[in-house]
Structure formats: C-alpha cells, structure tokens
C-alpha cells in the first residue's frame, strides 16, 4: 500500500492495519450472524492480488471479475469511509421524518426543561440532535453484498493502468488532489 500524507504531501508505505480499519470492523450487532462478512471475504481476500493481475488479460475470467467486484462491494459497505457515506442519507431521512411527524402533531410535546415548542424547533436550535450508528447502514450493505457484487460484476468496466513508478496508485480523494493542483 502506498499513501500520501494530506498535511505534508509526503509519501509513505503504511500497513493496511494502521490506516484502513476500525476496531471489530467486521462484527455487526444488527445482523443475526454478526460476523457474516467474514464468510463472504473468504472467497475474496485470498484471491484479490491474482484477480487484479488477471484484469490485464485480453479475456478476463469470471472469477477475477467476481473477486474485484466483491472487493469493491466490501469497501463500499464496510470501510470507514463507506460507513460514513451511507450514514448521511439516513440522517437526512430521519430529520425529514421527525419534522413531518412533529408538524402533524404526532409526537408528544418535549419536556419543558428543553425550552422548545416542538422537535422541529429543538432540532433547529441544536438543543436536540440524532446520532446514527454507522454499523446500521453497514449491516444493510452486508445484507445486500451479494447483490452489490453481482451488480458491479455485470457493469461495463474500464480498467485504468497507472504506469507511473513515481506514484503507483490512483485516488479519488479530492482533498488530496486539491493540495497538489
């Protein structure tokens, strides 16, 4: 793995364990099988390096497509960034639902010590805020990981090859790109 520090743009080679993990990241209390993702990964992780190498072949084999698609689905679902990204729509939906319920009088009045006339006002004034456990959207992603893998595997792919020996990776980190541009 290769990385560039966002603060100083210095290059370094971290271990995946130090930059791409969360404690008990594969354990999800919202699933019946809390470690369900581990079974899925047994068919992905050990084959990933060879699958990526096989992407350069004129006729890519189905296993390579499955493995890379599965890895992409896993990163989208279980990485810290994936969990953070999938939490945002839930926050927006929850806020809209709370305001709608409040405006229709379908919520009990707030306790007087909060000093607001309703939930919408308390949300607006910052007296009340909601938290979404990022493990919940992760659970939804894990529950649909096979379908996501099938979708990614059936998309039309463009394989980008970076022949630069100076920086052997691509990034979608726009903040880092702004720093070098």
Domain positions in the chain: 3-180
- pTM score, whole prediction: 0.72
User: How many Å apart are CA 95 and CA 78, to the nearest integer?
Assistant: 24
Token pair listed for 43 = 């068919």
160-177 pLDDT, tens digit each: 777 777 766 665 554 444
Residue 178's pLDDT band, with cuts at 50, 70 and 90, is: very low
Look at the block and give the residue holding tokens 């068919």.
43
**For 79-118, where are the alpha helices, taking DSSP H only?**
80-103
Going by C-alpha positions, the residue among 94, 116, 96, 98 that lies closest to residue 107 is: 98
Among 55-64, 114-123, 140-149, the range with the most confident prediction by mean pLDDT is 140-149
């Amino acid at each position: 793995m290769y990385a560039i520090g966002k603060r100083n743009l210095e290059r370094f080679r971290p271990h995946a364990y130090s930059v791409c993990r969360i404690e008990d990241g594969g354990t999800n209390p919202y699933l019946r099988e809390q470690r369900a993702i581990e079974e899925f990964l047994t068919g992905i992780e050990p084959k990933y390096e060879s699958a990526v190498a096989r992407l350069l072949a004129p006729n890519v084999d189905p296993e390579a497509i499955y493995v890379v698609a599965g890895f992409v689905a896993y990163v989208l679902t279980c990485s810290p960034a994936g969990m953070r990204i999938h939490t945002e729509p839930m926050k927006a939906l929850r806020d809209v639902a709370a305001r709608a319920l409040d405006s229709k009088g379908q919520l009990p009045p707030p306790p007087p010590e909060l000093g607001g006339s309703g939930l919408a006002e308390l949300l607006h004034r910052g007296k009340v805020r909601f938290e979404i456990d990022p493990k919940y959207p992760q659970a939804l992603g894990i529950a649909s990981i096979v379908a996501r893998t099938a979708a990614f595997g059936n998309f039309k792919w463009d394989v980008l090859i970076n022949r630069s020996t100076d920086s052997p990776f691509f990034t979608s980190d726009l903040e880092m790109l702004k720093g070098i541009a």
